[in-house]
Chain A
Amino acid sequence: MALSFQEPEGCAAIWDFVNAVQSQLQAMGHDDNLSDDLADSMGPIMLPSPDLGNLVEIENHMRTAIGTPGGREALAKFILNDKYILKLIPLVEMAEDLESLSDLHRLCSIMKMLVLLNDSAVMDYVVQDEVVLGVVGALEYDPDFPLHKANHRQYLSDQSKFKEVVRIEDQAIRKKIHHTYRLQYLKDVVLARILDDPTFGVLNSLIFFHQVEIVSHLQEDAQFMRSLFATFNPKEPSEQRKKDAVLMIQQCCTIAKNLQGASRAGLYQRFVGHGLMEVIQFALRNPDALVRVAGADILQALIDHDAMMVRGYIFKMIQDKVKPLTDTLIELLLVEADLGCKTLIGDIIKVLLDPNAIHQSLEALNRAPGDYLAKLRASFPPIHSDSFVQSYYEESVVKLFQPLRDLEGRESVDNLTIAEETLFSYLMEMLCFFLRSHYSRSKYVIMSNNLAVRVAQLLGSRKLIIKLGAVKFFRICLCLPDDFFLRQMISQRLFEPILQVVLDTMPRDNALNSACLEFFQSLTRDSLRDALKHVIFHYREKLEPITYVDTFQTLILKYDQYQEPVTTQELDHSFTSVDSGTPIRRGLVNGGKWGEGLREPDADEEAYFNTSDDEEEGLPNASIMNGVSPVRPLVNYPDDDGDDDMEDILATGTTVTPEPILRSQPEQAPTASSAEPVSPPERISEKRRREEEEDDELISIISSSGTKRKAAVQPSESSPNLQKLRRKNSMSHAKDSGAPRKISISIPLKSSGSEDDSNK
């Protein structure tokens, strides 16, 4: 057993405790605490030969026996050796004939006890052909549901559910397939309600081992593989068979996900060798959405297993001047009607078009040893250039976002069809993903295709969902590593349509309006000073009347504060003094707008302005802020979502000079302000620090919300569901098992935390 601790104190405390208990036990002279268990192992168990008359007796015997581990073991042994289940089975029909419900209920209870003995040999036995129907037959009469009878026998005896695309010759394997299915049926249907965790585990592992065996057998069976893939031969007349074959391969791949690396690799290698890639392309083009989804599923499994292999295949296609798979996928994405399939294909494209991964794959392909890769490499001359990656990437991206580009010149986006609506929402989401995850590669192609302007066009759609997608895109633009897009937004005046959305939606309180507010609220960040200046400078008249929320007043105030401290600023930037004497424009009454007189709303100026400010990013910026500290308290209008400002406070403690006044502001409420009674949990500051590193919490949130389900689950160690996963595993072992860190330290906090409660 391994425990990990977040803090050394906690570790030490537990260690002391363990030591104390151990020494106490030794002192008491109990040398063997485990003897209790061993003591109860009892002799062999004998049950009377069953008939309808002695079921009560049998039930009682068993109930006693299963009370102890030894008893259970002995009982399991007896059941198997005596073929006891075979003796019980005829009784079910007898009782049915006699319509003796009480006997049937007793038989059911007995059978339940047998199955729940949690012995894998028993479990394996009950799904054998000769007993399975009898066993589930008995389980149909659950005494907990006296007025119900399930129809397990009917369901399981229906052989038509088993589809055999290609005849599996090996009888043992055929049997195994049926057994596995029955085990799953037991797990999902018959026992679903009563399964305890250990039995669930036993069932799962049995199923797993069977599947491994089946899949490994099939992949070794060359004849089988040939016939399977031969179904895709154009000569094969039956479309249905082809579909079934795709579905079967999909099922193989699903199972393969649980296989160990080596055997999984073997399976895929054989699959690919027999033409899996062609099968995928066939499936993706199939008119039946179910088959398309299956095809995409297979491809995703393949990518999960070995993305490099798939990329190698694509490179080869490019070399051979065949339309690469990614292009096919992009075309499909753009026309796919099935929303689920669309998402799946989109996820695949996201993975395949990751330029860094493309690059790495290329590199690896160029030097990697190994059978398959070597073969692949030999088939085409080494491509080893960054320009290949960039051009491949850009070409694909252009194709992908073609529908957005086509918006150019379109007069109105009011009349989007549902299909277009879905597509545009999806493409905007993709765009966000590209900006976030491969910014350096994508920024040029997105910029040169003017996609930001196209997205701004979509802000004019009537559909809230489209507008929301567009606002989200621009929100991402605000927190990118450089101000490339910010400048475009400023020069193309793209804040205007977003502001228009606010004006259109306010004061309605809806998701779109909230997203807009969040967008403008983020302008209070120091790193977005230019954007703030731009927005206020140009749209002040529009903003001033918006009073249904504070956001815009806050922005204006912040803006004014940037301008206000002329005296201080004069010290730093003497050129601001130019301001004095220039007429105050646009009837703005708040004095000291040093920028106003100076700046014309002209692109060059703005660009200049931006570049100059660019240098202020990061630390220098902060130091300037501190330098202005005497007037800072006024300036420092607190941020709502607790970003930079609060980070500083929490991260650096209270030693920073400008804080005293800030701290007295009620704003910092539950976390920092009234710090006396409400001390912020450590995690906040910890969080803050992390956020700081990531520049923007949005990035972390979105990037971790991930593209693929699996990918999203894995990386975040502390993510709620992993935490819960672990808890789930440890549920049966209660609290003393390898509990996750956060839990182990929090036990003292909670007086009587029960597993179930905290697991909602």
Chain B
Amino acid sequence: MSIGGSDLDKAIAQLRACRPIPENQVRELCYKARELLIEEGNVVGVDAPVTICGDIHGQFHDLMELFRVGGDVPDTNYLFMGDFVDRGFYSLESFLLLLCLKVRYPDRITLIRGNHESRQITTVYGFYDECVRKYGSANVWRYCCDVFDFLALGALVTGAATSLSPTEGPLAENAEAMPDIDADIEIETLNSAGEVMFRYARNSDSQTSESSQTLGSSPARPDPTPTRVGAAGTGASGSSNGTSRNEGGAVLCVHGGLSPLIDTIDKIRLLDRKQEVPHEGAMCDLLWSDPDDIDGWGLSPRGAGFLFGGDIVKRFNHNNDISLIARAHQLVMEGFKEMFDNTIVTVWSAPNYCYRCGNVAAILELGEDGSNAGFQRRSNGDRGGGGGGWVLGSNDGTSTRNSTDNLRLPEGPGRRYRVFEAAPQDSRGMPAKKPVADYFL
């Protein structure tokens, strides 16, 4: 009953049809996945091009829509930032499909851990119940939880191009004025039909960084006026204004955000990640924290992790030579939201969250920097000398520490957001939980 090769393809086909695979296959799959995941670092190195996705939350049909919009595996490289399970009705199928794809195409898809990939959370928010309902016992849930413990905590995308080659697609109906086609395109927003809704050139004169252009307005009605949105829940204003030219940097992907205990990416490597998500500490923070319009650190209303302000993000990015933090973890009605002068972006990939929130979803495409020039793949193995690596602040003088204003941040990657709505309802059955098969009482 080995699940190698064609069996795996069969399992993938079955899961794509939203039908769970038998328990023994799940066990086999999870075993394989563990062997694979244990070999990954706490922060996985990923090469651009890659498509970064946020929360899925068991919305299987929307995951299929995501693949339709973003391209199928293995043609497109994917990086999923956790929260595959809970809330939606198909956590099991969604997670197992992603896991199958991971085992089948290990280099094409990266999965990192979200706060819902945890025993405690899944017992409360649906995944546990779903497994019990679909298999009659909690076994499958246990297998999956064992895999959760091996998921990486973050990913570092390198080699992303700093500008986009403009999509040749047609313009969307309400598309805004576009910069010159030969301009240095930093940001582009596409709708699910592949039509360009918005394009932004780096350092373009018409839109200086002062007149902040709000990105992430709903595809149906792009907001023509620059506004700062105090988005509900995040309490933070969203703005996307081009970054100034500078040396390039990598993109850190993590489910929640930063931790006061982690000031360099390398420090994440020093965590023993094979454990249930703790209630506090660095590992917990990475999965639970949220950016917020504050200075420094704040208590999180979630009861785990912290809130962190733009100064924290900028300093972290500067010290670690990264240009952008991509994270998920918070519902964004527009699917994505850039904050703090484009130093951090929230990507949300569960459209019409919980089948009722009415939001759209987004994925973030980072293009490949053809030459890969000027960027050295960050590899811990290359690190020489004793003094450099872990020592905090080895990358910068203390002078820049206290002021984030004059931090020179690496140039952000070109970012193409594909925004999509919930899967058309005809393409799927009605979302429904499967009932318990037999009953005695």
A164–B383 Cα gap in the complex (Å)? Answer: 68
- Complex partner residue of A464 from B38, B235, B312, CB under 8 angstroms: B38
Interface 9-mer from A81-89, A492-500, A709-717: A709-717
* B279 with A211: CB separation less than 8 A: no
* A338: nearest chain-B partner, CB-CB: B139
* B292 with A550: CB separation less than 8 A: no
- Complex partner residue of B37 from A290, A511, A697, CB under 8 angstroms: A511
A610 contacts chain B at the CB level, 8 A cutoff? no
For residue A553, which residues in chain B have a CB less than 8 angstroms away from its CB? 386-387
For residue A24, which residues in chain B have a CB less than 8 angstroms away from its CB? none
Interface 9-mer from A57-65, A514-522, A561-569: A514-522
A38–B56 Cα gap in the complex (Å)? Answer: 44
A737–B301 Cα gap in the complex (Å)? Answer: 15
Known contacts being A340-B142, A671-B260, A723-B303, is A161 close to B433, with CB within 8 Å?
A: no
For residue B355, which residues in chain A have a CB less than 8 angstroms away from its CB? 193
Interface centre among A147, A513, A677 (most CB of B within 10 A): A677
* A556: nearest chain-B partner, CB-CB: B386
* A147 with B426: CB separation less than 8 A: yes
A30 contacts chain B at the CB level, 8 A cutoff? no
Interface 9-mer from A587-595, A620-628, A749-757: A749-757
- Complex partner residue of B311 from A515, A554, A678, CB under 8 angstroms: A678
For residue B299, which residues in chain A have a CB less than 8 angstroms away from its CB? 681-683, 742, 745-746, 749
Known contacts being A641-B282, A678-B297, is A705 close to B435, with CB within 8 Å?
A: no
* B276: nearest chain-A partner, CB-CB: A705
* B311 with A754: CB separation less than 8 A: no
A247–B434 Cα gap in the complex (Å)? Answer: 19
Encoded as 1 (CB less than 8 Å from any B CB) or 0, chain A from 722 to 750 comes to 11110010000000000010110111011
A193–B136 Cα gap in the complex (Å)? Answer: 22
B94–chain A nearest beta-carbon distance, Å:
16
* B129: nearest chain-A partner, CB-CB: A188
* A343 with B142: CB separation less than 8 A: yes
* B441 with A640: CB separation less than 8 A: no
- Complex partner residue of B312 from A155, A509, A513, A678, CB under 8 angstroms: A678
Known contacts being A340-B137, A720-B279, A756-B357, is A514 close to B271, with CB within 8 Å?
A: yes
- Complex partner residue of B279 from A701, A749, A758, CB under 8 angstroms: A701
Known contacts being A702-B275, A705-B278, A760-B330, is A681 close to B298, with CB within 8 Å?
A: yes
Known contacts being A547-B385, A713-B120, is A718 close to B275, with CB within 8 Å?
A: no
A510 contacts chain B at the CB level, 8 A cutoff? yes
A340–B137 Cα gap in the complex (Å)? Answer: 9
Interface 9-mer from A119-127, A231-239, A388-396, A661-669: A661-669
* A640: nearest chain-B partner, CB-CB: B270
A189–B435 Cα gap in the complex (Å)? Answer: 6
For residue A742, which residues in chain B have a CB less than 8 angstroms away from its CB? 299-301, 303
A446–B99 Cα gap in the complex (Å)? Answer: 38
Q: Which of B265-280 contact A (CB under 8 A)?
A: 266-267, 269-276, 278-280
Known contacts being A720-B303, A758-B301, is A518 close to B441, with CB within 8 Å?
A: no
* B38 with A510: CB separation less than 8 A: yes
* B383 with A677: CB separation less than 8 A: no
Interface 9-mer from B186-194, B213-221, B226-234, B413-421: B226-234
Interface centre among A214, A340, A418 (most CB of B within 10 A): A340
A184 contacts chain B at the CB level, 8 A cutoff? yes
- Complex partner residue of B31 from A418, A701, A713, A746, CB under 8 angstroms: A418
B48–chain A nearest beta-carbon distance, Å:
19
* A680 with B383: CB separation less than 8 A: no
Interface 9-mer from B39-47, B70-78, B240-248, B369-377: B39-47
Known contacts being A677-B295, A697-B281, is A669 close to B263, with CB within 8 Å?
A: yes
* B401 with A517: CB separation less than 8 A: no
A339 contacts chain B at the CB level, 8 A cutoff? yes
* B303 with A339: CB separation less than 8 A: no
* B270 with A551: CB separation less than 8 A: yes
Known contacts being A165-B440, A641-B261, A677-B311, is A144 close to B425, with CB within 8 Å?
A: yes
Encoded as 1 (CB less than 8 Å from any B CB) or 0, chain A from 81 to 105 comes to 0000000000000000000000000
Known contacts being A671-B261, A677-B311, is A475 close to B120, with CB within 8 Å?
A: no
* B329 with A760: CB separation less than 8 A: yes
* A549 with B392: CB separation less than 8 A: no
B294 contacts chain A at the CB level, 8 A cutoff? yes
* B329 with A667: CB separation less than 8 A: no
For residue B124, which residues in chain A have a CB less than 8 angstroms away from its CB? 713, 721, 724-725, 728
A215–B230 Cα gap in the complex (Å)? Answer: 52
* B302 with A758: CB separation less than 8 A: yes
A679–B140 Cα gap in the complex (Å)? Answer: 44
Encoded as 1 (CB less than 8 Å from any A CB) or 0, chain B from 114 to 131 comes to 011001110111001000
B381 contacts chain A at the CB level, 8 A cutoff? yes
* A339 with B306: CB separation less than 8 A: no
A250–chain B nearest beta-carbon distance, Å:
9
A719–B119 Cα gap in the complex (Å)? Answer: 12
Known contacts being A464-B39, A549-B269, is A752 close to B233, with CB within 8 Å?
A: yes
* A514 with B288: CB separation less than 8 A: no
A719–B441 Cα gap in the complex (Å)? Answer: 34
A437 contacts chain B at the CB level, 8 A cutoff? no
Question: Nearest 8 A-B pairs (CB), nearest first?
Answer: A757-B233, A666-B393, A340-B139, A509-B41, A507-B381, A723-B303, A553-B386, A550-B390
Additional 11 contacts, C-beta under 8 A, given A509-B41, A666-B401, A670-B260: A144-B425, A184-B436, A192-B431, A550-B388, A550-B390, A641-B281, A667-B391, A670-B316, A671-B261, A681-B296, A753-B235
Sample 10 A-B pairs with CB under 8 A, ordered by A number. Answer: A475-B272, A509-B45, A518-B272, A666-B392, A666-B393, A670-B261, A702-B275, A724-B124, A749-B292, A750-B301
